[in-house]
Amino acid sequence: MAKTVYVLNGPNLNLLGSREPATYGHASLEDVEQLCRERAQRHQLGVEFRQSNHEGELIDWIHEAGAQQAAGIVLNSGGYTHTSVSMRDAIAAVNVPVIEVHISNIFARDRFRHHSHIAPVAVASLCGFGIEGYGLAIEGLAALIAKGAGAKSSDTKSSGRKGKD
Ligand code: CA2
């Protein structure tokens, strides 16, 4: 059975392509989904692609990915990146590698976007590549899986920085 990557998108990302093209480009979320499916197929990975404007629903999906023993999660947590301790806790609680993705370069934007609650519990973080960041995240995940470094080991599950920021 094909391994599955959950691609989870947070609040307002349903608006992609309709507003703020200077920041987020012209592609829609459907275009992002198509890109993810094509890229995942190259690596024989299935995709569960979702978007929610609700923090609890995103957390439920992170738990679901853990229960389903997903190969990984590509997560654009949107504005919750900068606010949600609960999303961070959910990621830390599941044994699934998370790749954090942002379409824009969050470090070239408002100061409040420079801090991510997700980064310390993610395997890797990507930002500023536009929607291609999703494709790169899937490529990176596939490389991790290929070298058998998919699921977090007990020491990487507790990252060194955890609890210190
Ligand atoms: O760059 C990213 O992918 C972000 O995660 C997008 C979030 C933002 O809060 C993060 O700082 C960076 C916002 C998503 C809003 O998406 C929109 C798309 C089109 C029009 C309006 C909002």
**pLDDT value of residue 156:** 45
- pLDDT digits over 76-109, tens only? 999 999 999 999 999 999 999 999 999 999 999 9
Angle between helices 29-42 and 132-146 (to 10 degrees): 30
**pLDDT value of residue 13:** 98
Q: Cα–Cα distance between 58 and 5 in angstroms, integer?
A: 15
Give the CA dihedral 129, 130, 134, 140, nearest 10 degrees.
-10
**pLDDT value of residue 151:** 76
**Edge-to-edge strands of the sheet including 3-9?**
45-51, 3-9, 72-76, 98-102, 124-127
- pLDDT digits over 18-27, tens only? 989 999 999 9
Q: Which of 24, 29, 100, 132 to mutate to test the pocket of ligand 1 (most atoms within 8 A of CB)?
A: 24
Residue nearest to atom 19 of ligand 1 (CA): 16
Pairing of strands 45-51, 124-127: unpaired
Q: Which of 7, 8, 9, 13 to mutate to test the pocket of ligand 1 (most atoms within 8 A of CB)?
A: 13
- For residue 110, how far is its CA from the centre of ligand 1 (angstroms)? 12
Task: State which residues of the chain have pLDDT below 50.
Answer: 154-162
**pLDDT value of residue 149:** 78
Three-state SS for 30? Answer: helix
Q: What is the pTM of this model?
A: 0.93
Specify the fold of 3-157: Rossmann fold (3.40.50)
Q: What are phi and psi of 50, to 5 degrees?
A: -140, 155
Nearest to 102 by CA among 83, 77, 139: 77
Domain range list for the chain: 3-157
Strands (E), the chain: 3-9, 45-51, 72-76, 98-102, 124-127
